[in-house]
Chain A
């Protein structure tokens, strides 16, 4: 089975722009979670989607949004980029939501905001 894929792998944007990141989960997985990793804050949960519905949301401003499509692929969008949004954005997929289930991480998208 192919692993979790994320595109693009690297991205450079300027303040005020918006960006869309994509995540394709492992085939058959319906849950996709997004995480932000920065040197100062570490890994933080952004949101989780399951069967096209947002199930959980972390403590991030409304500039961060996401969606999931019927094929379980997910996108996250960040509008009005700020310097502090520079981070590694990771997505993880699992076969179900809730309960003990292994999460499989993608390679991440490294976003740099200038």
Chain B
């Protein structure tokens, strides 16, 4: 079993829909990161969480430390949100362990 499990692996939505991506982990962490990767490879950090909830624009990330679970929500999705979303947990130092990623496609 992977240390970081993401679901779903693929997600297709219509523009305007509310989207949820889930992440479960099985190890102790110092923080959980949500990352976005566009075609071509560039990775952008969306959120870093160690507790509670964060919001940035249409994106919301939550974490439940006791249940070892995090969710990334996108409200009013847009075609430009199409990308791979990756959950990563931070253990010792700056080392990240990654989930397999969720390929999101938002159709107009």
| A-side interface residues, number (CB < 8 Å) | 29
| B-side interface residues, number (CB < 8 Å) | 24
Q: Determine if A24 is an interface residue (Cβ-Cβ < 8 Å).
A: no
Q: Which residue of B lies closest to A58 (CB)?
A: B95
A74 vs B88: C-alpha distance when bound (angstroms)? 23
State whether B95 touches A100 (Cβ < 8 A): no
State whether B95 touches A105 (Cβ < 8 A): no
Contacts of A50 in B (CB 8 A): 93-94
Contacts of B86 in A (CB 8 A): 43
Contacts of B57 in A (CB 8 A): none
State whether A90 touches B43 (Cβ < 8 A): yes
A20 vs B18: C-alpha distance when bound (angstroms)? 44
State whether B30 touches A99 (Cβ < 8 A): yes
Would you give the shortest CB distance from B103 to chain A, in whole angstroms?
Answer: 12
A48 vs B91: C-alpha distance when bound (angstroms)? 12
State whether A100 touches B50 (Cβ < 8 A): yes
| Stretch of A29-37, A60-68, A75-83 that contacts chain B | A29-37
Interface string of A30-58 (1 = CB under 8 A from B): 01010101000011110010100001101
> Known contacts A90-B43, A101-B48: does B100 contact A42 (CB below 8 Å)?
yes
A31 vs B35: C-alpha distance when bound (angstroms)? 19
Residues of chain B touching chain A, judged by Cβ–Cβ distance below 8 Å, are: 30-31, 33, 35, 41-45, 48-50, 86, 88, 90, 92-98, 100-101
Q: Which of B45, B92, B95, B100 contacts A102 (CB 8 A)?
A: B45
Contacts of A26 in B (CB 8 A): none
Contacts of B90 in A (CB 8 A): 100
Would you give the shortest CB distance from A84 to chain B, in whole angstroms?
Answer: 18
A38 vs B49: C-alpha distance when bound (angstroms)? 26
A108 vs B48: C-alpha distance when bound (angstroms)? 21
Would you give the shortest CB distance from B59 to chain A, in whole angstroms?
Answer: 15
